[in-house]
Amino acid sequence: MTMSRHATIPELEPTMSEHAPSSGLPRLLEGVPAQGAMTLQAHLDTHGELPSARRRDQRGATALIDQIEQAGLGGRGGAAFPTAKKMRTVAAGRGKPIVVVNATEGEPASLKDRTLLETLPHLVLDGAALAARAIGADEAILCVCESAGVGLEHSARAISERERLPGRWPRIVLSTAPEGYVVGHESALVSHLNGGAPKPTFSPPMPFERGVRRRPTLVNNAETLAHVALIARHGPRWFRELGLSDQPGSTLVTLTGPLSYPGVYEVEYGASLSSLLDAAGGTTSRVRAALFGGYAGTWVDGGALPSLALSNAHLAPHGASLGAGVVLLLSEDACPVAETARVTRWLAGQSAGQCGPCVHGLDTLAATFEQVCGGAAPSHATARVEQLAALVRRRGACSHPDGTARFAMSAVDVFSEEFADHARHGACDACARQSELPLPARTRIATAA
Ligand code: SF4
């Protein structure tokens, strides 16, 4: 599946002068090239020089953390943790800190970080350099999935281009991580960078206490750092001109499903879902439901979508959140039971294999869905799913079982009619259709009992 289109909503206003910040959108995606990556010179022409090149003193660097706090920037990796709080904690740790840019993006339904690296790598690298300087680090590691291809190539080229930047900047090195859903978990990434297995570790110590090379480690998502690059240039007031008071600014959303132009879009928090769908050229078939937040996220019934807005506060009554900015539409042509079984089987296969409830619980959960799909489920299958979901929650070293349980339970809830039909009659015609939900490789589901 290719999603390379970049667009913005609402339509952008022209900027007033060469480096004057736009009062609307796009922000991150300003000047995004139709092909290839923005060069360093084009990047500086678009956004202006790095502020710390003008203010080299340490006060100027730490003042950035205050600005980020005033901006109210939350992490864009899924957890929305306050970025400034994280930076302060690492800066106050024992020893020389280090920055890790998490651009591994193990969520199959998300392409935003890959898009940033492929097209606008200097925005991410600016943020990494500025964050490193702000916390007193002299090194940042840009961690990219080894399958990222073009993103990897463009990142390497951008890092070497930055040798021409004036002034002394923290060193940025490129590192690859293996493909995998839980590899992007902070502790898994740190373990991998320390030469261990790319698996979540039992904490404490947490990465911010003792991470890469036993140093206090700031792990930030790539998009989060891209926002840092712009806040440092334009300030917190500018950042808050878009979005909501409790969720300010803009965010990248990977939008996929039956649409004319699926892709990565920049939206302000609080924008209506309808405006995003319009920007994507509208839907091409009737929508049964939308999944928010990716495969650790929550389904919302199609009937509720017209009134939805894109913010965690608006999604909360539906038990959903934007997570890492994923909105995935499922058409009425698909079979939600088969789709749920296939994704759950894939999620079970992503277990790092070190916590019993995760290994066995998720496998049994996937098998139960497969039984329902094949019409071989026991009469209490739905209750069994609920029981399994409750059993695995908070029973792992990481949140993978919790996310899978959330996905499974919301599927059973939103697609209750389809589950009941399958339990009674077995597979439907749509079961055999091509699946709509994206996965890295085709995942076979066993439909036999
Ligand atoms: S909960 Fe699952 S994915 Fe997370 S560390 Fe344990 S076995 Fe690995």
Q: Each residue of 183-200: pLDDT tens digit?
A: 999 999 999 999 999 999
Half-sphere exposure for 84 (CA within 13 Å, toward CB): 16
Looking at residues 37-54, what average pLDDT do you find?
A: 88
* Structure confidence by residue, pLDDT tens digits, 128-138: 999 999 999 99
pLDDT at 446 > cutoff 50: no
Task: Note whether residue 3 is domain-resident.
Answer: no
Pocket test for ligand 1, best of 183, 192, 358, 393 (most atoms within 8 A of CB): 358
Domain boundary among 265, 298, 331: 331
Q: Whose CA is nearest to atom 1 of ligand 1?
A: 396
Are 266 and 191 found together in one domain?
no
Q: By percentage, how much of the chain surpasses pLDDT 70? A: 91
Residues 333-352: pLDDT tens digits? 999 999 999 999 999 999 99
CA–CA gap between residue 243 and residue 250 (Å, rounded): 6
Q: Return the pLDDT at 19.
A: 61
Six-digit token string for 440:
């890295």
Encode pLDDT of 56-93 as tens digits.
556 666 799 999 999 999 999 988 899 999 999 999 99
pLDDT for 325:
96
Residues 341 and 420 in one domain: yes
Give yes or no for a contact between 333 and 324, defined as CB atoms under 8 angstroms apart: no
C-alpha triplet 113, 75, 265: angle, nearest 5°: 45
Whether 5 shows a pLDDT value over 70: the answer reads: no
Strand partners of residue 177: 145
36 pLDDT more than 70: yes
Residues paired with residue 7 on neighbouring β-strands, in sequence order: 265
350 CA → ligand 1 middle, Å:
9
* Atom from ligand 1 closest to the CA of residue 358: 2
* Most informative mutation of 187, 346, 391, 400 for ligand 1 (most atoms within 8 A of CB): 400
User: Which pLDDT score, from 0 to 100, does residue 173 have?
Assistant: 98
Ligand 1 pocket: which of 183, 185, 355, 364 to mutate (most atoms <8 Å of CB)?
A: 355
Write out residues with Cβ below 6 Å of ligand 1.
182, 199-200, 351-355, 358-359, 396-398, 400-401
Q: Could you tell me the CATH number of the domain that includes residue 422?
A: 1.20.1440.230
Question: Is residue 433 scored above 80 in pLDDT?
Answer: yes
Query: Is residue 9, in this structure, part of any structural domain at all?
Result: no
Averaged pLDDT for residues 148-159: 96
Please confirm whether the linkage preceding 205 is cis (ω < 30° from 0): yes
Are both 355 and 234 inside the same structural domain? Answer: no
Q: How far apart are CA 410 and CA 13, in angstroms?
A: 39
- With beta carbons less than 8 A apart as the criterion, state whether 411 and 365 touch: no
Residues 155-162 have a mean pLDDT of 98
Kindly state whether residues 232 and 115 are assigned to the same domain: yes
Asked if pLDDT for residue 367 goes beyond 90, the answer is yes
Q: Are 34 and 5 in contact (CB under 8 A)?
A: no
Pair (92, 236) in one structural domain: yes
CB atoms within 10 A of CB 170: 19
User: Residue 443 pLDDT more than 70?
Assistant: no
pLDDT in tens, 204-233: 889 999 999 999 999 999 999 999 999 999
Tell how far the Cα of 75 is from the centroid of ligand 1, in angstroms.
Answer: 22
- The answer to the question of residue 444 being in a domain is no
Task: Give the model's pLDDT for residue 15.
Answer: 33
The rounded Å distance from CA 104 to ligand 1 centre is: 17
What are the residues facing 300 on neighbouring strands?
Answer: 290
pLDDT-based confidence at 54, cuts 50/70/90?
A: low
Q: Is the dihedral of CA 61, 219, 99, 92 positive or negative?
A: positive
pLDDT for 379 beyond 90: no
Q: With a cut of 90, say whether residue 202 has pLDDT above it.
A: no
Domain end marker among 307, 331, 355: 331
Report pLDDT for 294.
Answer: 96
Q: Rounded to the nearest 5°, which phi and psi values hold at 411?
A: -65, -45
Instruction: State the average pLDDT over residues 276-283.
Output: 97
- The string over 56-79, giving b where at least 16 C-beta atoms fall within 10 Å of a residue's C-beta and e elsewhere, is eeeeebbebbebbbbbbbbbbbbe
Considering only 52-56, 238-242, 295-299, which range has the smallest mean pLDDT? 52-56
What's the gap in Å between 385 CA and the centre of ligand 1?
Answer: 19
54 and 132 fall within a common domain: yes
For residue 26, cis peptide bond before it (omega within 30 degrees of 0): yes
Q: What is the pLDDT of residue 55?
A: 52
Q: Which of 271, 270, 310 has the alpha carbon at shortest distance from 290?
A: 310
- Read off the tokens for 383: 């209750």
Tens of pLDDT, residues 296-336: 999 999 999 999 999 999 999 999 999 999 999 999 999 99
Q: What is the extent of the structural domain holding 297?
A: 250-331
Rg over CA atoms, the chain: 22
Residue 68 lies in a domain: yes
Indicate whether 297 belongs to any domain: yes
In the predicted model, what is the mean pLDDT of the chain? 90
Q: Residue 322 sits in a domain of what CATH number?
A: 3.10.20.600
- What is the secondary structure of 235-300 as a DSSP string? HHHHHHTSB-SSSBSEEEEEEESSBSS-EEEEEETT-BHHHHHHHTT-BSS-EEEEEESGGGSEEE
**Among 79-83, 95-99, 148-152, 201-205, which is the least confidently predicted range?**
201-205
Q: For residue 437, is it within any domain?
A: no
In this structure, the answer to whether residues 229 and 143 fall within a common structural domain is yes
For the four alpha carbons of 65, 70, 75 and 79, in that order, the dihedral sign comes to positive
Closest atom of ligand 1 to 188 CA is 5
Instruction: Identify the band that residue 383 occupies on the pLDDT scale cut at 50, 70 and 90.
Output: confident
Q: How many domains does the chain have?
A: 3
My answer on whether 65 and 165 are in the same domain is yes
Give me the pLDDT at residue 380, please. 80
Task: Give me the pLDDT at residue 179, please.
Answer: 93
pLDDT surpasses 90 at 440? no
